[in-house]
Amino acid sequence: MNVSKDKIKILVAGGGGFIGGHLVKYLKKQGYQKIRAVDIKPLNKWCQLDNEVENLSLDLAKKDNCFTSVKGVGEVYNLAANMGGIGFIENNKADCMLSILINTHLLMAARDENVNRYFFSSSACIYTASKQTNPNNPGLKESDAYPAMPEDGYGWEKLFSERMCRHFQEDFGLTTRVARFHNVYGPHGTYKGGREKAPAALTRKIIEAQISRNHEIEIWGDGQQTRSFMYIDDCLKGIDLIMHSDIEEPINLGSSEMVSIDQLIGYLEEISKIKVTRKYNMSAPKGVRGRSSDNTLIKKYFDWEPTITLKNGMKILYSWIEKEVKKR
């Protein structure tokens, strides 16, 4: 059913988070005038707060709050989850898995409220561990999710939630779309406190080294583990394309530009114009050995894939975190 953007109401679950805050701004620019953003955090803790939309501080793990949030809504974007970087998800497996309550109750509310479309943000953490033991990862295909052996805790929750979306579509006719995010980064996200991911954490460490003139930084692992990182603007475009497509199966949304952690640090050295001494901590959480996105499917459907280079994206992130650190 086609509804004009000025008529349809949008729910962004997790609207106080990094991606959710950017998505609210993106949807406004696309012409959506009725947006409800919901997050468990108090409003003064949101990554971005747009006072021109409806903002609610609610715990979406609770069923009643999900039904309140979905009331009168035409499209749901579920970005809400208890998550963070590898240090957080490896040490908070039970809390990460409790996010299943959010997706469960939002799906139930979306079904009962006759929502038009439902988007679920999954993760590359759902992929089978045995496919990620080599730093020279050829790229994870969507079919690599099975036989299932995802990241313990967080990955299992995401994979199970994918299946719930599938079965709500099959059994109840709720149109669901699923994107598997690969390491999204950019400004207005977490860069300290324990939940930050590698791009933000390393950027902060380089900036602090520059300010303190102590140019030694700690690296988790040996620096040879590989990842691909997607800039937030590419993520937002991909969400929009996938949400309003006919793609019924989960699909990768990530950059295919794979780099090692040491290469990422090299980019930051170029940006900061300092050289650092790298102290490798082999006992710290490291995650899988190699992970990248195979974008064959998304290119087939849209003739598009994330295109913002890591160097260009990191320059923007560095500038934002530098300002934030200097404020402190």
In DSSP notation, 301-316 reads HHS------HHHHHHH
Q: Tell me which of 26, 77, 154, 318 is the catalytic residue.
A: 154
Residue 163: count other Cβ atoms within 10 Å of its Cβ.
12
Query: Kind and range of the H or E element at 278?
Result: strand 277-281
Below-70 pLDDT ranges, the chain? 1-4
Rounded to a whole number of angstroms, the distance between the first and last alpha carbons of the chain is 49
d(CA 205, CA 211): 10
Q: What is the pLDDT of residue 2?
A: 56
Catalytic residue status for 280: no
Burial class (CB in 10 A: 0-12, 13-18, 19+), 235: buried
CATH 3.90.25.10 positions along the chain are: 186-227+258-294+308-327
pLDDT tens string 117-142: 999 999 999 999 999 999 999 999 99
CATH number of the domain located at residue range(s) 9-184+232-253 in this protein: 3.40.50.720
Q: What is the pLDDT of residue 1?
A: 45
Q: What is the pLDDT of residue 328?
A: 79
Q: Are 127 and 140 in contact (CB under 8 A)?
A: yes
Tell me the whole-structure pTM to 2 decimals: 0.96
Q: Are 107 and 171 in contact (CB under 8 A)?
A: no
Pairing mode of beta strands 258-260, 226-228: antiparallel
CATH number of the domain located at residue range(s) 186-227+258-294+308-327 in this protein: 3.90.25.10
> For residue 194, what is the DSSP state?
S
Query: Kind and range of the H or E element at 77?
Result: strand 75-78
Question: Hey, what amino acid is at 158?
Answer: K
Q: Are 156 and 94 in contact (CB under 8 A)?
A: no
**Alpha-carbon torsion angle 131, 235, 229, 99, nearest 10:** -60
pLDDT tens string 152-191: 999 999 999 999 999 999 999 999 999 999 999 999 999 9
CATH 3.40.50.720 positions along the chain are: 9-184+232-253
